Structure formats: C-alpha cells, structure tokens
Chain A
Amino acid sequence: MNRLAAATGLVLVVLGLGVFAWKVFGYGMPVVAQDPEGLWRIELSITVRGSGGRGSVRAPLPSAAPGQEIYDESSVSDRLVFAIRTEGSNRIAVWRGQIGDLHDLSYGYRVRLSPSKYALPAEIEAPSRELLRSFGRASGSFPSGAPQIAEVLDKLALPPAEDLPGRLRSIYAFLAHEIAVLEGGSDDALIALANRGGSERGKAALLVSLLRAAGIPARPVLGLELGPGSPRETVWVEAWAGDWLPLSPTGAFFASLPANLLVLRTGALAGVESTGTQALSYRYQSLREHLRADELATLMVPPNPIFTAISLYQLPVPTQSALRTLLLVPLGALILALFRNVIGFQTYGTFMPVLVAFALRQSHLGMGLSMVAGVIGVGVMGRLVLDRLRLLLVPRLSILLCVVVLGVTAFAIIGKGFENRDFFAGVLFPIVILTMLCERFSIAIAEEGMRNALARMGYSLLVIAAVYPVMRNARAEHLMFSFPELIFAVMGCLVWIGGYTGYRLMDLIRFRSFANPNEGSA
C-alpha cells in the first residue's frame, strides 16, 4: 500500500472514531441500544384538499391512560388553526380555517405502552345511572334491543347477573368461536350475526350490542396496532366491570391489553374526518424506539450545540426511518469490498449483493434467497428463448424485465398459500437488479461455461448472506444512526482495502501449486 493511501485511511478512521469517542465518553451517549419494550414514535400525516371555503379536519389523539404514556407531541398545521379539544376521556385534534388547495398536516408523538391486565372483581356494584344512560342503551350502531340479539342471549343461557365474569366470558366466547372475521365483511352488528361473520368493526358492534342487552355497559374502542410495518387502525370493545375491561371481538384478548395496542378513542369509532373539504387522505407511520426516554434525550439534544444541530433524531419520522436503513448501506459496502478485494470472490454486478441483501432485510434469508434464485431461474430461461429472437439490447432487457416481473408475480400467488406477506414486501424493490443479474448470468454461461457461471452465482449468494445480517441488525442500525460520523471510519477502512496490494485468498487457491514445486496435480 502506498503511504498516501495508508495515511488518508488513518485520518478518516481517526476522524470517525474520534468524534464517536467524544460523543460517547464526553457526553455519555448510549452506544448500545437497550431495546426496551413498548417505545414507539408515531406520526399521523394528513393531506386535505379544499376549494377555498371554511372547513375543518378532526383526528383522534391518544390520551394518557394506565397502560399508555404520551410525550414529545408536536403538530404541523400548514396555514390552519390548530387546537386540541377534550371530549370526555378523548382528545381530538382539530385543524380549521380556509381550506385552499393542498394542506399537509401532521401530528407526531412518542408513546410508551405497557401490557396491562385487569383483575375481574368478585363483587361489583351495579353500574351508575349515568353509565347506563351513556353506554347501556340501544342505538343505531348497537341495536341491543333487536329480537335477534335477545335470541342469542337466550341460547347462550348466561349465568346469573351476580356472576359478571361468567356472563362476560360466555358472550366473549360466542363472538370468538361462532362469528368469523371476514375480509370485506359487514360493519353492521345484525348483518354480521345473520351471516355468522363480519368485519372487525361488525364483530365489535355485535359484541357491544350483546353486552348492553345483557345489562353490561359497553363501548367500542378505536386504536392502532403497532408492528414492524405501518400501524393498522383496529377496534375492540370495553365492558364495564367496576373498571373498563378491554375485550377483543376476535378472541385475541380478554380483560387485558397487549402492549402493541394504542387506544386512540373510546365510545366512538370515528377516525380522521373532515368537513368542507374535497379530498382527504391520511396515514400513520410508526418507528420502534430502541432507547429509554432519558437516553433518547441525550441523543436528541446533546449538551453541545453542534451535535444538537446535526442530530438525526430531530428529523421527521419518515426521513428518520429511511435514514436508519440507508446508513447501513456503507457497512454493507465495506463487507462487500472485503469479500471482493481481500477474499477475492467474483460476484455479479458491483453492488448487487448489497442491494439484494438490503431488499431482503425484512424477510427470512432462506426464503428470500430461494425466491431470488427462483426468479433468476425463470429469467435465465426467458433469456434463452429471447436469444433466439436476436433482439436489440434495450428491448431485450425490457422484455427480460417483464419476465422477471411476471416471475415475481407468480411467486406472490404461490406465496399467498404460505401467508408470507412480509417476505414479499422486501423483494418488490430489486426488480431491476434481478433483471441485470439474469442478463449477466446468461452472458457468463455463454462466455465462461456453466460451471464458472454457477460458481460466480454461488459467490454472489454467499456475499448476500454475509451482508444480510448487518442490514437487519438493530445494534448496527442504532450505531450508524446515532453516530453517523462512523461513515468516515468506514471510508477509511475502504481506503485501506483499496490500497491493499497483497494476495487475495482466491489468489492463494488459484496459484497454490506454486507451493509444491514437484507435483503436478493441484
């Protein structure tokens, strides 16, 4: 290696590690993500369009409750007036004003959710009049007075009124076992009952109706289910037993609430709504937080104005989640460079392994790789047929692209049987890369023979498998996101690898016969 390269690499590595060490030892920024349960950053983004008249947009906001803490709230109101209204135990965000062309509104917050269990009291005083008036009566959505409802209760032969837990259980079990959840099923309680199946909302409405008909005050709950993907709006039910007990209309929980459910609103199921507008769209985004609130604070607002200014934790949620994965790519490139220039694996396409590993990071490696292999198989066959047609390069590649898209589509249909939604989500991205891979692979078969082409494919898959764990490692993600200066250290290492002129491991294998001067067979 020449001196200049060695020195440049050293400067970059020292710079990266130096800033990193300063932040860690000087300001106590946490190096390792603790990964506490139940910490989320959530953002609701709304886009409305109006024709210039007055209008308003309302969205339910979560309130502090036993299992849920809300903090770090912030809103973007884009030329509208913003206020938070309290209705009973609910908080509603309201934006109002002249709604012109497009307005981008958002509301973000952090929550800490803990699983809560509720003890069923042995003795329960009768619900107050007020409760019964608000949550015990029949209404349009909850037709607890309907004869069909009474019929069900008759058939269930509920335990006597003193045994409230028993009554709750039989009604809960009826909903869980007798009424199916149908995709696209009805939201209406009576239709769901008649069909023995309905939507989640339909089942919740039926559950509320049955409970009310049995004399138990009940109300619906609108919430968010948080997970690896985007949050999903979901509904469940609360029944009054001295306290509000959460009940799942689908049999998922009884008198407890899982820690991935966030209550947005109780008593009504209205989500984001607007008046005086022409179009409204909204979506929730969530991000798992890996740090406790105090640790987060040192990362968000380090006690140093420069670091505060460049802290990535200040960015909007979508940008943050994009950057979190993006910042892992240099690490992948470093591993790739090691494999190619120090070990000497020949791979297809310079960055192909990193990009494929990046795209597969949300799915199971074996599944992802077999899918990639399957699509390449289809693509190479397509390529063989195309070869006979003798087409020009760009149309030929485009047809190959179509074949690859068809292959992926076919896999989606097959994958449906395995309920593998998430493995599919990742693979959509690298279609173009897969196409180029098919092309390169076919060329290699023609030029270097099947054996060499397959060997090279094997090396490519190996490198993908080596990069993959880094691409989905929460520690690595935290490290790169909290200490982006480490990219300089990565660049330094890359300079060193680039200046490495020694033998590659594969050179040793290729030329190993030089080590035994007398023999012939290697």
Chain B
Amino acid sequence: MRPIRVWRALREQGVLGINRRNSAYTLRWNPRRFYPNVDDKLRTKDLCRRAGIPTPELLAVAHHHFELRELGPQLARLHDFVLKPAHGAMGKGILVVRGRDGDRFITTGGRPLSLGDLLYHAAGIISGLYALGGQPDFAMVEERLIVHPEMAAIATDGVPDIRVVVYRGVPAMAMTRLPTRLSGGRANIHQGAVAAGIDLGSGRTTSAIYQRRRIREHPDSGEPLLGREIPGFKDLLSIAVRAADETGLGYVGADLVVDERRGPVLLEMNARPGLMVQLANRSGLLPRLRAIDLCAQDGRSVDERLDLGIRIAQAAGAPESSA
C-alpha cells in the first residue's frame, strides 16, 4: 500500500474521513441538546408517532421495578413481541419472542422462557444493565417486525436493516446490512455481516462487501446480492427524511426494517453514523454532501428533497454498473 497514492485516490473520490466527519458534520450539524431524541428510543418513537412515521408499535413500558407487576399480565396476553432497553446500544439486551407454546415464550433462538424469566430480564433492563453509561433505563415491549420475504432471502437467521444517511434533510447515501452465519444473525458489519450499497434512484443494490472483500453472492446461501430491489424503497427514504426532520439533527443515520405487512418501519436513529456506507457503495460521501450544501434551502417539501438527493446521488457518485 502506497499511502500517498491512496490519499490521492480518496481525495479524488471524495471519501469522508473520521476527522472531517466529526468536525465538519457531526460537531457542526448535530447540537448536543438534540442527542436525547435519538439516544432514548422511547422518545424517538414518541416523536415519530406524532409525526405519523411508522415505528414498531409500542405494546408496553416499565419505567420502574414496581411497574413489573402490571407488565406480567400484559406480556401473558401477547403472542410475539420484542422486549428491549430504551437506552440500549449495539443490540444489547434485546429479546425477540417469536411465538408461544402454552405458558412458554419461544425466542428466535428457539429458547423457551417462562414469564418469570422475561420479568427478570425486564428488571435487569430497568436496573441499567444494558445501558452503556449505567443510567436508569426503561424496559419497552414492542411489536415484532417480520422481515419482508424479499429481504429475508438475502439474509441468514436475522433481521436485515437499511441505513440511510440523511444530511440537512436530504438523503445522501444508503446501504443494507445483511446478517450472515459469521455475524451470528446480527446486522453488524464488524462482526461479519454483508453490507450492500443501494442506488437511491432505483432502490436496487449496486455492490456488496463481506469481510472487506467485494462479493456478488451471499456467502451462506449463494443468493445473488446485486441488483436486488428493496421493497418500498421510495417510502423508506421519505420515512428516513421525515424522521431526521423530527430529531433536529443535521447529519444522521436512520435504521429501518422492511416489514412483511407494514412495509418500511423506522427502528432507530443514530447521531454518529459510521463511514462504512462509503465502502458498501464504493463511493465517497463528500461530493454528495457538498452538492447538498450548495442546493439545500429551508422549507423544501419532503418530496423535493428526495428528488434532490436522488439527482445528486446519480450525478456525483454514479456507481459503476455491476454487470
């Protein structure tokens, strides 16, 4: 590796580095006071619900240990659901119940749990076991999303999600993260999930990487990964943009899942989205962010901004055809 040559290549293709992301984008466009809007999932959900943005439906919440007594009967009435911490990060403390077997709750891993087990887990969440800072946390129970079959076909035992980077209300770039056997069903690229770039205009995947290598087929199933259409992608973009508007953050990553029945649903927002999206798309963010800076004005409608994002994406980093 010749550093100077790489440096020039990155500059020419406008790859965004960490230093510039921090100083020119997150520090500049994400005021600290808006962070709670994305760090607390209940708050994000609340903001979204008021704005009519689809999120997994909230079925129950327990803020304090004494509320667990009411949580018991509520859970007993449910068939499938997700129990998770409001302040969790990196998927910690999330329990997905996929169905019932009499009194037992069956998790996606196939483990049968009793109601007592679930309440114990909820107690752990409230105690701050999964909140990174150890601050008081809430246990929330929400609707279980069921992955759209077209997405499920290109993922192994897990929920693939779609990350959209939204800058000043304009979608800039998107990718989907597909769990693999190596990643243990988690949509985490560092742990071995596949990342596939998405063309904003067509909603189709354009290129994919797995373990730093470019690939064309899913490493587990051999399913082709390029040119796959994300169902309801146009809606998905508009949800991401509207959610970004609600949070007040100027440079965010929106994580969405495409549900079988409901279509695109917002899972969470991220105030410091990573830079991996550039590798997945084989395209730098900077040309797009700069173009958005040139064109962005307040008061544009969501549709106008979607069009702007698509036009900029197509002009800036027209991804190479994947023939």
Contact = CB atoms under 8 A, between A and B. Distances in A.
A521 interface: yes
Nearest to B19: A501
A503 interface: yes
A452 B275 CA distance: 17
Contacts of B127: 392
Contacts of A448: 190-191
A122 interface: no
B278 interface: yes
B132 A443 contact: yes
A522 B7 contact: no
Contacts of B5: 515
Contacts of B320: 517
A505 B3 contact: yes
B280 to A, nearest CB: 11
Contacts of B17: 501-504, 507
A500 interface: yes
Given A511-B6, A515-B9, A449 B282 contact: no
Interface in A489-521: 499-505, 507-515, 517, 519-521
Interface string B1-32: 10101110110010101111001100000000
Contacts of B294: none
A509 B1 contact: yes
Nearest to B11: A503
A394 B133 CA distance: 11
A522 B214 CA distance: 8
A447 interface: yes
Given A501-B20, A514-B6, A507 B128 contact: no
Interface in A287-344: 341, 344
Contacts of B20: 501-502
B19 A503 contact: yes
A514 B128 contact: no
Contact of B278 (A394, A446, A511, A512): A511
Nearest to B4: A508
A390 interface: yes
Contacts of B124: 390
B7 A521 contact: no
A390 B129 contact: yes
A300 B20 CA distance: 46
Nearest to B320: A517
Interface in B169-212: 190-191, 212
B92 interface: yes
A509 B5 CA distance: 12
Contacts of B191: 448-449
A384 to B, nearest CB: 15
A519 B129 CA distance: 45
Nearest to B214: A520
Contact of B3 (A443, A508, A513): A508
A497 B247 CA distance: 31
B232 to A, nearest CB: 30
A504 to B, nearest CB: 6
A385 interface: no
A44 B92 CA distance: 57
A520 B215 contact: yes
Contacts of A446: 92
A446 B92 CA distance: 9
B23 A499 contact: yes
A382 B9 CA distance: 47
Contact of A503 (B7, B92, B129): B7
B213 interface: yes
B134 interface: yes
B122 interface: no
Contacts of B7: 503, 508
- Say which size band chain B's interface belongs to: 35 or more
Contact of B19 (A452, A502, A511): A502
- Say which size band chain A's interface belongs to: 20 to 34
A509 B6 CA distance: 8
B224 to A, nearest CB: 15
Contacts of B250: none
Interface string A72-92: 000000000000000000000
Contacts of B90: 447
Which of B10, B89, B129 has the most chain A CB atoms inside 10 A of its CB? B10
A521 B212 CA distance: 7
B284 interface: yes
Given A505-B3, A507-B15, A392 B129 contact: yes
Nearest to B16: A507
Contact of A508 (B10, B19, B128, B215): B10
A393 interface: yes
Nearest to B13: A514
Contacts of B10: 503, 507-508, 511, 514-515
A494 to B, nearest CB: 14
Interface string B72-106: 00000000000000000110100000000000000
B239 to A, nearest CB: 27
B6 A512 contact: yes
Given A392-B128, A449-B190, A514 B19 contact: no
A447 B186 CA distance: 11
B9 A514 contact: yes
A87 to B, nearest CB: 65
Nearest to A393: B134
Contacts of A520: 213-215
A447 B92 contact: yes
Nearest to B132: A443
A500 B89 CA distance: 29
Nearest to A346: B18
Contact of A504 (B18, B132, B215, B284): B18
Contacts of B15: 503, 507, 511, 514
B313 interface: no
B211 to A, nearest CB: 9
B6 to A, nearest CB: 5
A346 to B, nearest CB: 10
B85 to A, nearest CB: 13
Nearest to B1: A512
A452 B191 CA distance: 9
A114 B13 CA distance: 67
Contacts of A505: 3
B161 to A, nearest CB: 17
Contacts of B23: 499, 501
A452 B212 CA distance: 14
A88 B134 CA distance: 69
Contact of A513 (B19, B89, B128, B279): B279
Interface in A441-458: 443, 446-449, 452
A520 to B, nearest CB: 3
Nearest to A344: B18
B285 to A, nearest CB: 11
Nearest to A520: B214
Nearest to A511: B15
A419 B192 CA distance: 47
Interface of A: 341, 344, 390, 392-394, 443, 446-449, 452, 499-505, 507-515, 517, 519-522
Interface of B: 1, 3, 5-7, 9-10, 13, 15, 17-20, 23-24, 89-90, 92, 124, 127-129, 132, 134, 190-191, 212-215, 275, 278-279, 282, 284, 320
5 contacts: A392-B134, A499-B23, A501-B19, A508-B7, A511-B279
Q: Which 5 A-B pairs have the closest CB atoms?
A: A520-B214, A393-B134, A515-B9, A507-B17, A503-B17
Given A514-B13, A515-B1, 8 more contacts: A449-B191, A503-B10, A511-B6, A511-B278, A513-B279, A514-B282, A515-B5, A522-B213
